[in-house]
Amino acid sequence: MTLSPIPSFIEFVNMPDLLDRVDDDQEFMRELFLLFRVEFPRLQIELQEAVSRRDLQQAAKTAHMLKGMLANLSIEVPASAMEIVEHAAAEEDQAGTEDALIVFRGKIPNLLPCLDVYLDEPLLQEGSSES
């Protein structure tokens, strides 16, 4: 039995777009990823709790925050999936929100482990050569 390799974090992020957003400042980008690493799980829990309580107004607000966080970091596929969660919650569609949340979770099973590996890698210094 062969284990599937964990995908690279780069597979989740539109890196050219993100680097453009942060003006090629890799250190700032890493700071954003560190903040994301803390806030993303917290907001996911908050979203799940709101959906479980059937508080779709709160679920829509939290989904909006998650969508924005993902989109701002150019994590495009999960951001699009979260947009569907947000829309379903805003429409007060409990079943649709639950279904969309399941689809969203299917898009991110390795996101945080991949981010951890990425954050453990050293920054490439400008002007350094790898000869």
51 lies in some domain: yes
79 lies in some domain: yes
How many domains are contained in the chain? 1
- Position 126 scores a pLDDT of 47
Domain boundaries, position 63: 25-120
Average pLDDT score over residue span 93-106: 97
More confident residue, 8 or 20: 20
48 lies in some domain: yes
78 lies in some domain: yes
For helices 56-72 and 76-90, give the axis angle rounded to 10 degrees.
160
16 lies in some domain: no
62 lies in some domain: yes
Query: pLDDT per residue over 38-92, tens digit each?
Result: 999 999 999 999 999 999 999 999 999 999 999 999 999 999 999 999 999 999 9
- Position 6 scores a pLDDT of 59
19 lies in some domain: no
**What are the residue ranges of helices labelled H in 8-110?**
15-21, 26-52, 56-72, 76-90, 94-107
Which of 12, 2, 10, 6 shows the shortest CA–CA distance to 107? 12
Average pLDDT score over residue span 28-38: 96
CA-CA distance, 6 to 39, in Å (whole number)?
Answer: 22
Residue appearing with tokens 């495009």:
76
8 lies in some domain: no
Q: The domain that contains 109 carries what CATH number?
A: 1.20.120
